[in-house]
Amino acid sequence: MNVRKLALEAIEKITRKKAFCNIVVNEFLNKFELSEEDRRLFTNLVYGTIQNLITIDFYLEPYIRRKKPKSWVKNLLYISVYQIVYLDIPKYAIVNESVDIANIKDKAIGSFVNAVLRNFLRNPLRSLDGYDDIQRLSIKYSHPMWLVAYLLKDYSLEVLEKILQENSLIKNDAIRINTLKTNKETIKTKLTEANIQFSDNPLVENGLTINKSIVNHPLFTEGFITIQDISSQMVSEITNPEPNSLILDLCSAPGGKAAHLAALMNNTGTIFACDVYPHKIKLMEQTFERLGVNNVKTQLIDARNVANKVKKESFDYLIADVPCSGLGVLSHKVDLKYQITLKAIEEVEYLQEEILEKSYQLLKRGGYLIYSTCTINKDENEKQIAKFLRRHEDFTKVEERIILPFEYHTDGFYICKLRRN
């Protein structure tokens, strides 16, 4: 099985059909029998090429501007340039493989690919001299120019460059130790025995970062650990629920925070985990079963409609991990930066406000509302909460955390804990 040819087919599907990168990668890995080494190379080629698409296009553009090659040829060249610039693979092997793939369809195209790549190798990489700051950051870190300019409303040039640089890195997975079944020291011992490297993170109590996939390991399949970003784990820790509490988790899927809350309460109390999609409800229930969570009740309902079904002042804690632009998770969702639009961001801001307005009355007096997003856009975060507090003087800010991706090598996250007086 030719891994580079498979990667080309996957990238064609992502770029031409606007398919989600992670879905396409998983689809191909499940469909084709590949060795572990080939699986890693395939994943690297697809994610790496998509992640650096704007940069690669900038480097390649002088060599193809007059030819205007077909989509698949251009994508083949993108994969080739990605390997040349970013991977430690012999250059002759990259060129030969790419030419062989092109020759399968047309030997004339094979000659074109060969000429472009050999010309590319003979010259230094195209310089960024002469470009303004927005253009430079856009090209260097492969983020659309409008998005770079948009984020500059919230962050200085220096801070934004650190954010964009972090977005360009491939992060290791983070896990949460499931204290319903085990403890941190036991898991560390098991990971060491399995030759899996790990590191602690000062942000959370029971989170570790690991150096390889663990989804097929018994520690995961038997529910001793679960995959959850460190920043996401902070939401439940900041919530810090009392035992036997009644909790409403408005936008619960995929259920990581609800499962974490259950562990913090040692399966006491009741957590209502809501989502609007049936398949996500099913996935959450499977997760809860795997982790030994038995105090969560799933509810198929839109977060904006819960108040029509439940009486006011019913819950001790209200978790609003609302839909957002996802600008804090661009190192994981490498294609999102090309798909997100300003209109989509404005629409999600309105949805966040609507969820808050239609649900806050469900919280008891003295109860806590925890609002969180996986974005670094202040309009969805600090400014959204500021507007809410201006409208509702009976709420007080207890704690607010902004985690930028480069600070702890985690997802970018915003968490705010409010108390209803």
**What is the DSSP secondary-structure string of 219-252?**
HHHTTSEEE--HHHHHHHHHH-PPTT-EEEETT-
Given pLDDT bands bounded at 50, 70 and 90, which one contains residue 352?
A: very high
pLDDT at 213: 83
Residues 254 and 310 in one domain: yes
Given pLDDT bands bounded at 50, 70 and 90, which one contains residue 41?
A: very high
Residues 350 and 390 in one domain: yes
Arithmetic mean of pLDDT, 264-286: 97
Asked if residue 24 belongs to a domain, the reply is: yes
Nearest to 80 by CA among 111, 107, 105, 48: 48
pLDDT at 292: 98
Asked if residue 415 belongs to a domain, the reply is: yes
Q: Are strands 174-177 and 225-227 parallel, antiparallel or unpaired?
A: antiparallel
Which segments of 265-367 does DSSP mark as H helices, in order? 278-291, 336-339, 342-359
3-class state of residue 321 by DSSP: strand
pLDDT at 265: 98
pLDDT at 65: 87
CATH classification at residue 309: 3.40.50.150
Percent of the chain predicted with pLDDT > 70: 100
Given pLDDT bands bounded at 50, 70 and 90, which one contains residue 16?
A: confident
Asked if residue 225 belongs to a domain, the reply is: no
Phi-psi region of 399 (alpha: psi -120 to 50; beta: other; left: phi over 0): beta
Tokens representing residue 235 in the block? 């939401």
Question: Each residue of 346-373: b (16+ CB within 10 Å) or e?
Answer: eebbebbbebbebbbebbeeebbbbbbb
pLDDT at 273: 98
Residues 327 and 399 in one domain: yes
pLDDT at 305: 96
Arithmetic mean of pLDDT, 130-156: 98
Q: How many residues does the chain have?
A: 421
Domain boundary among 99, 122, 145: 122
pLDDT at 118: 97
Q: Is 374 tagged catalytic?
A: yes
Asked if residue 39 belongs to a domain, the reply is: yes
pTM, to two decimals? 0.94
Given pLDDT bands bounded at 50, 70 and 90, which one contains residue 105?
A: confident
Domain count for the chain: 3
Residues 152 and 256 in one domain: no
- Catalytic annotation, pick one of 21, 251, 324, 374: 374
Poorest-pLDDT segment among 141-150, 328-337, 370-379: 328-337
Residues 365 and 294 in one domain: yes
Residues 104 and 153 in one domain: no
Asked if residue 190 belongs to a domain, the reply is: no
pLDDT at 172: 85
pLDDT at 68: 84
Compare 40 and 160 and report the one with higher pLDDT.
Answer: 160
Tokens representing residue 322 in the block? 């609302």
Composition of the chain by helix, strand, coil, percent to 5: 50, 15, 35
pLDDT at 370: 98
Tokens representing residue 205 in the block? 């109590």
Residues 246, 248: Cα–Cα separation, whole Å: 7
pLDDT at 18: 85
Residues 306 and 407 in one domain: yes
For residue 319, the enclosing domain spans 230-420
Give the chain's mean pLDDT.
Answer: 96
Asked if residue 246 belongs to a domain, the reply is: yes
pLDDT at 225: 98
Residues 35, 52: Cα–Cα separation, whole Å: 25
3-class state of residue 359 by DSSP: helix
Asked if residue 178 belongs to a domain, the reply is: no
pLDDT tens for residues 167-204? 998 788 999 999 999 999 999 999 999 999 999 999 99
Indicate if the pLDDT at residue 67 is higher than 90: no
Residue 255: CB atoms within 10 Å: 27
For residues 374 and 232, the answer to whether their CB atoms sit within 8 Å is yes
Residues 295 and 396 in one domain: yes
Residues 274, 357: Cα–Cα separation, whole Å: 17
Asked if residue 218 belongs to a domain, the reply is: no
Nearest to 5 by CA among 86, 124, 108, 103: 103
Residues 251 and 349 in one domain: yes
Residues 107 and 236 in one domain: no
Longest dimension (CA), the chain: 74
CATH classification at residue 7: 1.10.940.10
Q: Are strands 225-227 and 198-200 parallel, antiparallel or unpaired?
A: unpaired
pLDDT at 295: 98
Residues 285 and 380 in one domain: yes
Residues 141 and 242 in one domain: no
Residue 68: CB atoms within 10 Å: 8
